[in-house]
Amino acid sequence: MQNKRKVIASDIYNELVKNFRIKEKIGSVEIKLGSITAKYNGKDAIGDLLQEWLAEWMKSKNYYFRTKQNTQEFPDFLLSESDTKDFLELKTFNADASPAFDIANFDSYCTSLLSIPERIEADYLIFSYKMENTELSIDNVWLKKVWEMASSSGKDPIKLQVKRNQIYNIRPCTWYSNRLKYQPFNNKKEFLKAISNTHKKYPQCDQYKKNWLKIVKTKYLENTGIKL
């Protein structure tokens, strides 16, 4: 960490929004090959690209961070030398639609909480972006905990992507809307309870049985000295 500045997620949020004024900046994505350069006007690639951009911005600020070798792995950024805290995930979505990103793969998330229950504390930096005539801009920025962007779906204890009765991903609610039918969870306890209730409903979760929540709580107390 020599010479690098140790920051926490809220430092990054504040610097991006208040000092860098990211919401007033415009940008673009370009592909060059030989003498031909094309500007990108799509959306599918923006999440991946903004992650590269954020890394470059953090370098320019001399902030300390690490990334995983496998970029698909959680989390996108580690803000300290610890492997159990200071996790930062970047999520992005098209500002003209509802948040459509995956909070996490459901099975991976449940399994990972059994070994690193501290993952529950991860910070999520969320960008909504616009892409209009190849001009990229950031419409809004949020810093959230996982339970602050998840909610019941009515049908399920937590909003999920389900296909043919098989759970794929945990999906976000529209946390910024005034007309929400289901509010985000109030705290991590409610969020974990909703996951545990989901286990009871789907056959694919039989592996977790009724012990999942207990194991997560016990392990969290062991690791942090704090009761969940």
- Residues that bind a second copy in the complex, under the rule CB under 8 A: 20, 22, 25-34, 36-42, 44-45, 48-50, 52-53, 55-57, 60, 71, 136, 138, 164, 166
Angle, helices 188-201 vs 106-115, to 10°: value is 120
Cβ–Cβ < 8 Å for 167, 204: yes
Q: How many CA atoms lie within 13 A of 188 on its CB side?
A: 17
CB of 153 to a second copy, least distance (A): 22
Cβ proximity to a second copy, 29 vs 143, nearer residue: 29
Cβ proximity to a second copy, 5 vs 39, nearer residue: 39
The C-alpha atoms of residue 49 and residue 54 are separated, in whole angstroms, by 9
CB of 168 to a second copy, least distance (A): 11
CB of 48 to a second copy, least distance (A): 5
The C-alpha atoms of residue 139 and residue 176 are separated, in whole angstroms, by 13
Cβ proximity to a second copy, 47 vs 217, nearer residue: 47
CB of 172 to a second copy, least distance (A): 21
CB of 191 to a second copy, least distance (A): 28
Cβ proximity to a second copy, 116 vs 131, nearer residue: 131
The C-alpha atoms of residue 86 and residue 123 are separated, in whole angstroms, by 8
Q: 69 in helix, strand or coil? A: coil
The C-alpha atoms of residue 23 and residue 199 are separated, in whole angstroms, by 40
